[in-house]
Structure 1
Amino acid sequence: MKKTVLLLMSCTIFFSYYTKAQTKEKNLNQIISTLSKKNNIGIQIGGNYSYFKDLNYSPLNYLGRGVLLGINYQRITKKGDIFFSNIDFSSSTIKPNKEIESFEADYYLANLEVGYLKKIPQRNERLVLHIGGGYHTYFNATFYDGVEAISFFALHGIDLTGRLSYRLSSRQQITTSLSVPIFGLMSRPPYTGWDKFIVESQNNPVRVFFRGKWTSFNDYLVVDYDLNYSYKCSPKWAASANYRLQYYKTEQIHSVKSMNQQISLGLNFNF
């Protein structure tokens, strides 16, 4: 009789622990599955910190900061590949680092990206590598005293992109990416900032920003780096913190260097 009781108690304890383990595993799988929902849309708001020097505009070094707004969309395929699109805009006031207030100017920055990344299998289940590319328009423009003096730099290019993600836990993930344009259409103003074509196209600025020449590494140096941390708040919502560094340099027309550091917080919806 005692043996029967002990046997029943042992079975009860075993099945109790087994059931709890299965429940925990099921909950964990549900959380992980929500991290990989097919669609994700998010908004970001933060600050943009700029360093700018354009000899076509001024021989001085300019510094500035402004507000950054961004929207992004991402879709994950059944194979784990990623289709993505991003757009962000920043408006800043820049001035020489010598604090000459009379030389303050308005500085606008915009990015538009559409691309596709292929998942590369890894042995480490927490690590995910994607490699691919896409179309990227980078644009900045400087205006002094309205349109008294202007300058701009635009590159409509094809980027080569690598993205590496590491899952810290069932709710946390860090993602870093690096993009380099292979070739593109670069647009710069003439020596004077204005010419007949720009004057005639004032009501259609898109014509101006797409006037340029096709070029590649021999005419520019570009680095676009991104670091993102995300935390899963619920099956459908996630919060994120993002840092982005963009550096553009070219000697075309006159030398121009532009470095932008963007720090933002975001909210993402998964569906």
Structure 2
Amino acid sequence: MFLSFLLAAASIAAEPSCRMAEADRAWLARSIVLWKTAETDWLRLVAQPLPDIVVFDGNCTYRLPDGDFGALVSQANVDGMATYDGHPLPMGPVSFADGSGAFVMSLPSVWRAAGVDSALGLEVLMEGVFLHEIMHTRQSSLANAAFEGFGAEQTEELSDDFVQALFEADAAYGAAYRQERDMLFAAASADDIGEARTLAGQALELMRARRARWFTDDRAWLTVADDVFLTMEGMGQWLVYRHFASLPGIGAQRAMDEARRGGRFWAQDEGLALMLVVDRLVPDWQQRAFREPEWRAVKLLAAAASR
């Protein structure tokens, strides 16, 4: 995946025009430390080596093999465009984990220039984005295993917003989705465990009914896609919420509001609700969800409802 970048960077590893701004560098270093803490303390995973991290500012693209600042190589952007895997990247807010397990993100100076801001501060917002996306590098093999049976055409068009894009204009589907999502949030905030389990079971039945009604015939494969993206995006947003809530003076409700961002993104919003329920009712969920491809939304929610 990185051959084109490596060939270019190898000859200009000491590119004199490339110097990451101190503020950008400090944010990146802090975010890497934050991820290492989240990996072991919140996700309860055995720490793994960092992925290759590729970041860029308005002038240069920087690659940190295995997340190592000491091995950093740089490449001047061409015509104002950063480059990853031989392809230009938009000069704006970018953050993603690719199928090879690498992580790519634009630096705070780029987001700031694009006018992005947050009530929590731009750097804090971006720390949440960093945690969300870099966590996907721990999930890529599981997602790939889930998608093995899909055709190439289906796989190429998939994204976490794919189901929303298909059904957002369908009023009946939207109502079913919102009822299901709201039931999950109610389960997450229920006063006692028994009520939480009951509501989780009701949400599970709503999820199964939604899929049985709309994911049929040539769209039956969406059941797996929906399961994967609710789980992956939900875990990502759960990390965002945990990070925001851990900061002094933020509080749980404000952290929730900032993580939900008005509920604009369905997979992220319902996924967050689902993972809040799972985290409350299935204490060992991390050990299954990061090891076994089939332990996704439905299985996790069923476990939450049955214990």
Q: TM-score, normalised by structure 2?
A: 0.22
Q: Which structure's residues are more often strand, by fraction? A: 1
Which is greater in Rg? 1
- Structure having the higher helix fraction is 2
Higher-RCO chain (CA-CA 8 Å, sequence separation at least 6): 1
TM-score w.r.t. the length of structure 1 is 0.23
